[in-house]
């Protein structure tokens, strides 16, 4: 995983976990990698992963079964979508809108490119 400088590492790891859930790689009631396993895989401090897992627990995306480990919650997909949608709307979309305005990009062009992106990325 390549980390970006513009966002805290624990939040980037949260995005990584959320993406795995949304893509169906990790399903409801399935065990997620332990803090130590994830830290080794991503080459980060275990405390950083723990901070990520605590955030995801607060959002009811994962749950901690004491002595067993962390698991994807039953409502994970809905909660991930709500969490990520809020992030996107508050952080990313204003930047997109600014660029759309400054570059005078029409909604027809955006729609066309969006449709092509979906077709090439998810219908392959």
CATH number at residue 39: 1.10.10.10
Domain co-membership, 94 together with 67: no
What is residue 31's DSSP assignment? B
Tell whether pTM > 0.85: no
2 within domain boundaries: no
Rounded to an integer, the average pLDDT of 103-124 is 91
Domain co-membership, 72 together with 90: no
Question: What does the pLDDT look like over 15-53, one tens digit per residue?
Answer: 999 999 999 999 999 999 999 999 999 999 999 999 999
Give how many domains the chain has, as a whole number: 2
Domain co-membership, 59 together with 85: no
| Nearest alpha carbon to residue 45 among 92, 95, 8 | 8
> Would you state the pLDDT for residue 4?
85
| 121 torsion bin: left (phi>0), alpha (psi -120 to 50), beta (else) | alpha
User: Is the pLDDT confidence value at 2 over 90?
Assistant: no
> Would you state the pLDDT for residue 124?
58
Domain co-membership, 86 together with 66: no
Domain co-membership, 89 together with 33: no
Domain co-membership, 38 together with 85: no
Tokens 């508050």 belong to 90
**Which structural domain, as residue segments, surrounds residue 31?**
9-76
> Would you state the pLDDT for residue 107?
93
Question: What does the pLDDT look like over 54-106, one tens digit per residue?
Answer: 999 999 999 999 999 999 999 999 999 999 999 999 999 999 999 999 999 99
Domain co-membership, 59 together with 111: no
Question: DSSP assignment of 38-88, as one string?
Answer: HHHHHTS-HHHHHHHHHHHHHTTSEEEETTTEEEE-TTHHHHHHHHHHHHI
Domain co-membership, 71 together with 106: no
69 within domain boundaries: yes
């Amino acid at each position: 995983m390549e980390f970006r400088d513009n966002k805290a590492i624990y939040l980037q790891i949260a995005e990584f976990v959320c993406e795995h859930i949304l893509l169906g790689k990790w399903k409801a009631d399935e065990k997620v990698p332990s803090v130590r396993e994830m830290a080794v895989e991503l080459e980060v401090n275990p405390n950083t992963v723990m901070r990520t897992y605590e955030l995801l627990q607060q959002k009811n995306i994962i749950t901690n079964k004491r002595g067993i480990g962390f698991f994807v919650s039953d409502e994970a997909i809905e909660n991930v979508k709500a969490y990520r949608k809020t992030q996107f709307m508050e952080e990313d979309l204003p930047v997109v809108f600014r660029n759309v305005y400054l570059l005078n990009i029409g909604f027809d062009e955006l729609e066309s490119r969006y449709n092509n992106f979906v077709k090439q990325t998810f219908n392959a």
